[in-house]
Amino acid sequence: MLTNTVYIGSLADYNSAGSTRRAMIRIILTTFAMIFLAELGDKTQLAVLAMASRSNPWAVFIGAGAALLASTILAVVLGCTLPKFLPESSTRVLHYIAGGLFLVVGAWTIWKA
């Protein structure tokens, strides 16, 4: 099942008829802020910046936007699908694995620099 650790508010708020719109807006704004701040200065943004300085900026914008959209769709589909097939206790393990991989990739990036 889904947990409400990612959302501002609770899934009960999201599912109730009276506050569905407010909960959706809250989730949209939270997600936007979280992703926007996480992406600032990240390698993807720097790569796009470099490509836009040498190529057609609109082509770079469309290509980068399509790539971000595709990776986001993949993440949302997996995020909605995996909890249906995995027991709730394994989602905690999945969070630890994702966090560990994040740390490993970060350490590898620093080591290679």
Give the per-residue pLDDT at 12.
53
Give the per-residue pLDDT at 17.
54
Residue numbers of the chain with a pLDDT score lower than 70:
1-18
Give the per-residue pLDDT at 15.
56
Phi-psi domain of 71 (left: phi exceeds 0; alpha: psi -120 through 50; beta: other): alpha
Distance CA 106, CA 109 (A): 5
Give the per-residue pLDDT at 112.
83
Give the per-residue pLDDT at 55.
94
Give the per-residue pLDDT at 8.
47
